[in-house]
């Protein structure tokens, strides 16, 4: 409860820091980036009030104990969201933690450390260590005194963490890459579903691991969906994070900008139909990591932009023949983080969701 109070006392500052660090538009940073930190603390409070720390089952006593020292390694794209959704439950469970935030967006974590101090968290219970993955992240993952590693980030880094943790038999919990399919079934309100799908893909400049970046539409309605997506993309305004008119800020870094540009070029080279956007900065921007809101159509499952996580505002629209074909395309990916299904019939959507190999399936944009 004291942590929640201390967080709220610096809420506006947290939103401003995140906006400046990663380029998130001010409204997004305030309502969602900082807002999710608040909500995770509130949800942890609600959970611990009713959590059965100890319960009996027949003559068996089941006792929930803290796992021990938890190393928490977090990404830059939703930074305080990922920090708090790890730290708050760990503290509630009685674990001590060592947090290593992303070196790309470290300042919100420093502010969070000040918030933890203000809340009166005992010394040594919360520890912040800054640094990059190959040095600090690797050291924590291999350290014999660390009992658990919780990591959110790329699949490549996750594999290395699992290898490093194996010799000391740590518990490892990971949230890795995504190339989430968004199946629009043939009974859907296409205007509403495509528009919401474009906006979800472009949110946070496309820098969300669970973004619905592959939009699967019935082949007979492909061109109609493309027209709707074109209109929806055109309503986005790229600009500086502090401009109230901005709906899409820059991507986070030169490295990220270069990666997104390279994959857009590959999409064109491999024959996908460029509907809007494309390579280069938007008109009026000579500098900065600004990316054009980009939509590709007629994307085949074998194309690079259908298979690699782009982590930018790039949507791939993919036609399918029937429901089974859509499910097969959706599951044809090395990633498994999230998926989406849209239908006027919720039970039908749930039946499709049950066949999708993904950690989370979102039905009708909850």
Please, what's the largest Cα pairwise distance for the chain? 72
For 278-364, list the strands marked E by DSSP: 294-297, 314-320, 338-342, 360-363
User: What distance in Å separates the CA atoms of residue 337 and residue 58, rounded to the nearest whole number?
Assistant: 37
User: What distance in Å separates the CA atoms of residue 350 and residue 193, rounded to the nearest whole number?
Assistant: 16
Is 299 in contact with 329 (CB distance < 8 Å)?
Answer: no
* Catalytic residue check, 175: yes
* DSSP alpha helix (H) spans, 270-345: 304-307, 323-331
Give residue for tokens 């590709």: 296
User: What distance in Å separates the CA atoms of residue 246 and residue 12, rounded to the nearest whole number?
Assistant: 19
The full 3-state SS of 255-276, as one line of letters, equals HHHHHHHHHHHHHHHCCCEEEE
* Catalytic residue check, 308: no
Q: Which of 95, 175, 201, 309 is catalytic?
A: 175
Q: Which of 21, 201, 209, 309 is catalytic?
A: 209
- If we measure between CA atoms, which residue out of 176, 184, 182 comes closest to residue 311? 176
Give residue for tokens 């919990």: 173
- If we measure between CA atoms, which residue out of 359, 364, 32 comes closest to residue 205? 32
- Write down how long the chain is: 366
Residues labelled as active-site residues: 175, 209
């Amino acid at each position: 409860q004291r942590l929640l109070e201390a967080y709220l006392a610096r809420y506006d500052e947290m939103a401003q820091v995140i906006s400046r660090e990663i380029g998130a538009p001010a409204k997004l940073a305030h309502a969602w980036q900082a807002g999710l930190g608040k909500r995770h603390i509130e949800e942890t409070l609600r959970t611990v009030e009713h959590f059965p720390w100890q319960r009996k089952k027949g003559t068996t006593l089941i006792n929930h104990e803290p796992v021990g020292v938890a190393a928490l390694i977090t990404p830059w794209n939703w930074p305080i969201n990922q920090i708090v959704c790890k730290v708050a439950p760990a503290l509630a469970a009685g674990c001590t933690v060592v947090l290593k935030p992303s070196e790309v967006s470290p300042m919100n974590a420093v502010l969070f450390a000040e918030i933890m101090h203000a809340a009166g968290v005992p010394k040594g219970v919360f520890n912040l260590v800054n640094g990059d993955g190959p040095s600090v992240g690797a050291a924590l993952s291999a350290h014999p005194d660390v009992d658990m590693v919780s990591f959110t980030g790329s699949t490549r880094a996750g594999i290395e963490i699992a290898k490093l943790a194996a010799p000391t038999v740590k518990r490892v919990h990971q949230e890795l890459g995504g190339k989430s399919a968004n199946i629009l079934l043939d009974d859907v309100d296409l205007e509403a579903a495509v528009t919401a799908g474009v906006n979800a893909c472009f949110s946070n400049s496309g820098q969300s691991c669970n973004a619905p970046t592959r939009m699967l539409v019935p082949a007979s309605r492909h061109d109609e969906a493309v027209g709707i997506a074109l209109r929806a993309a055109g309503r986005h305004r790229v600009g500086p994070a502090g401009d109230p008119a901005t709906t899409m800020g820059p991507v986070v870094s030169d490295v990220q900008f270069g990666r997104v540009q390279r994959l857009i070029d590959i999409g064109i080279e491999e024959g996908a139909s460029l509907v809007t956007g494309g390579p280069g900065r938007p008109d009026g921007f000579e500098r900065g990591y600004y990316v054009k809101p980009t939509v590709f159509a007629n994307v085949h499952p074998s194309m690079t932009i259908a298979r690699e996580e782009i982590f930018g505002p790039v949507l791939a629209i993919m036609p399918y023949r029937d429901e089974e074909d859509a499910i097969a395309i959706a599951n044809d990916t090395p990633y498994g983080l999230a998926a989406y299904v849209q239908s006027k019939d919720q039970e039908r959507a749930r039946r499709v969701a049950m066949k999708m190999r993904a950690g989370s399936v979102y039905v009708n944009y909850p």
